[in-house]
């Protein structure tokens, strides 16, 4: 059977890391409050010259190097972001040009924090139906540029970064590697709980992030546990088969509550929220790359990826590495 197989991962972070204590110099907050409520200790914030496209390009180059794939072989780039460099064209086309693999397919996907799962689902479908042989799937964000730095309830939660994977369509055995099942959902009734209060067609401005954190938290735990179970069932697997969970890194308490609901031991959950905070669409591929590079995730491991974000949108994918 033809599956989309993960050939390599990469990530990139802005140079500047900002600790909770540093943030507390300009925002009415404290390291104690942020750590206790979220598990976040530090985040990277993009500086001058660092954009969603530059971070995405760096992450893509690292993923290509890890995969041993030349950029010229890439026929499809799907980039998930809520913070594009420009309203149009798609940031994926900027990355394509920077990598020098012009001529293939390149477009962005907007599903905010679950954007990487949506991008993965779309790229997987396109590879398996022969639209391209090799793809780059990227999650990249500069959320710091759409935060209201006067709103302590949101600005302490997010960070900037990018993660990327190289996928290749390959003939594999039933028990071989590749994306086994992906499940995606959206419920547009919850726009008001998490959104950006601007846009080209409404205010004509970019807008800032607005969130009712407590309600989002409640929905996140229920939706994430359900969709994880759904993706596993789609692959004919159970939580007991899982080697690693790579969740969207929004809040350490959401990670704990979700894994408890599924009976997954916390030592199987990859956690980077402490050093990256919530990097929206970048968070899943960033965490995946961290755990691949530090040797935790190995070839043959069963990994489940999951995320939820504005919309609401949510999704999960079961992947044999
Ligand atoms: N520093 C100090 N105090 C703060 C801060 C801060 N940064 N932010 C809020 N507070 C105060 C509030 O003003 C409030 O004070 P009050 O009781 O005097 O009114 C108090 O802390 C409690 O505020 P809540 O918002 O009720 O705190 P809660 O325990 O719900 O924690 C949090 C807030 C961390 C945002 C939590 O609700 C959460 O993590 N929700 C999930 C949201 C999320 O992660 N969204 C990301 C996108 S969606 C996703 O990725 C799943």
165 and 226 inside one domain: no
What's the pTM value of the predicted model, to 2 decimals?
0.97
Choose one of 128, 149, 171: the last residue of a domain. 171
What pLDDT band is residue 215 in, cutting at 50, 70 and 90?
very high
**CA-wise closest residue to 288 among 116, 77, 91:** 116
Measure 214 CA to ligand 1 centroid, in angstroms.
7
Domain shared by 162 and 213, yes or no: no
Going by alpha carbons, the residue nearest to atom 14 of ligand 1 is 153
Tally of domains in the chain: 2
Instruction: Assign residue 181 a region (left: φ > 0; alpha: ψ between -120 and 50; beta: otherwise).
Output: beta
Task: Pull the structure tokens for residue 227.
Answer: 């969709």
Instruction: Note whether 130 and 54 are same-domain residues.
Output: yes
- Let me know: does 282 contact 296? Beta carbons within 8 Å: no
Q: What is the pLDDT of residues 12-68, one digit of tens each?
A: 999 999 999 999 999 999 999 999 999 999 999 999 999 999 999 999 999 999 999
Tokens read off for 224: 């994430």
Say yes or no to pLDDT of 321 above 90: yes
**Distance, CA 157 to ligand 1 centroid (Å)?**
9
pLDDT in tens, 149-188: 999 999 999 999 999 999 999 999 999 999 999 999 999 9
Q: What is the largest CA-CA distance in the chain?
A: 56
Q: What's the rounded mean pLDDT across residues 215-244?
A: 94
Length of the chain: 321
Look at the block and give the residue holding tokens 């204590």. Answer: 21
Which CA distances in Å does 76 have to 108, 131, 185?
11, 8, 23
Domain closes at, from 171, 196, 231 = 171
Measured distance CA(119)–CA(136) in Å, rounded: 10
Indicate whether 137 and 196 sit together in one domain.
no
Domain edge (last residue) among 171, 193, 209: 171
* Residue 23 near ligand 1, beta carbon < 6 Å: no
Look at residue 49 in the predicted model and tell me its pLDDT.
Answer: 97
Q: What angle do CA 47, 48, 50 make, to 5 degrees?
A: 70
**167 and 25 in a common domain:** yes
Clarify whether residues 158 and 9 are in a common domain: yes
- Give bridge partners of residue 210 from the DSSP assignment: 195
Residues 83 and 32 placed together within one structural domain of the fold: yes
Same domain, 186 and 161: no
* Residue 59 phi, psi dihedral angles, 5° rounding: -65, -40
Per residue in 85-130, pLDDT tens? 999 999 999 999 999 999 999 999 999 999 999 999 999 999 999 9
pLDDT of residue 262: 84
Give the CATH number, domain containing residue 297. 3.40.47.10
Work out which ligand 1 atom sits closest to the CA atom of 283: 50
Same domain, 100 and 146: yes
100 and 190 both lie in a single domain: no
- Residue 273 and residue 51: Cα distance in Å, rounded? 21
Does residue 153's CB lie within 6 angstroms of at least one atom of ligand 1?
A: yes
* CA distance linking residue 210 with residue 155, whole number of Å: 10
Do 25 and 165 share a domain, yes or no? yes
Containing structural domain, residue 13: 2-171
* Residues 234-288 pLDDT 10s: 999 999 999 999 999 999 999 988 888 888 899 999 999 999 999 999 999 999 9
Residue owning tokens 């959320």: 143
Question: Do 138 and 235 lie in a common domain?
Answer: no
272 contacts 286 by C-beta, under 8 angstroms: yes
For residue 145, the 8-state DSSP code is: G
Q: Distance, CA 33 to ligand 1 centroid (Å)?
A: 9
CA-based end-to-end distance of the chain: 16
Express each pLDDT in 291-304 by its tens digit: 999 999 999 999 99
Q: Is 277 in the pocket of ligand 1 (CB under 6 A)?
A: no
- The total of other beta-carbon atoms located within 10 Å of residue 187's CB is 12
**Sorting pLDDT into bands at 50, 70 and 90, what band is 80?**
very high
């Amino acid at each position: 059977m033809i599956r989309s197989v993960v050939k390599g991962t990469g990530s990139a972070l802005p140079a500047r890391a900002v600790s909770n204590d540093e943030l507390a110099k300009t925002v009415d907050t404290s390291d104690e409050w942020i750590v206790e409520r979220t598990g976040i200790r530090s985040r990277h914030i993009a500086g001058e010259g660092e954009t969603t496209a530059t971070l995405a390009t760096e992450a893509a180059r690292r993923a290509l190097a890890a995969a041993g794939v030349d950029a010229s072989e890439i026929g499809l780039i799907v980039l998930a972001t809520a913070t594009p460099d420009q309203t149009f064209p798609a940031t994926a086309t900027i990355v394509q040009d920077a990598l020098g693999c012009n001529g293939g397919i390149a477009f962005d996907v907007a599903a905010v924090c679950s954007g990487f799962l949506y991008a993965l689902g779309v790229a997987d479908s396109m590879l398996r139906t022969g639209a391209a042989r090799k793809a780059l799937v990227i999650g990249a964000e500069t959320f710091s540029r759409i935060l209201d730095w006067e709103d302590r309830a949101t600005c302490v939660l997010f960070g900037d970064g990018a993660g990327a994977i190289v996928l290749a369509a390959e003939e594999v055995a039933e028990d071989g590697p590749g994306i086994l099942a992906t499940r995606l959902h959206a419920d547009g009734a919850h726009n008001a709980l998490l959104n950006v209060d601007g846009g080209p067609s409404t205010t004509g401005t970019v807008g800032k992030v607005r969130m009712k954190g407590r309600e989002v938290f409640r929905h996140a735990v229920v939706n994430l546990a359900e969709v994880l179970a759904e993706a596993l069932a789609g692959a004919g697997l159970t939580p007991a088969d899982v080697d690693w969970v790579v969740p969207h890194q929004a809040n350490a308490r959401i990670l704990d509550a979700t894994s408890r609901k599924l009976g997954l031991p916390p030592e199987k959950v990859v956690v980077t929220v402490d050093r990256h905070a919530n990097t929206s669409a970048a968070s899943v591929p960033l965490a995946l790359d961290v755990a691949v590079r530090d040797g935790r995730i190995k070839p043959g491991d069963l990994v489940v990826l999951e995320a939820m974000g504005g919309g609401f949108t949510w999704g999960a994918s079961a992947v044999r590495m």
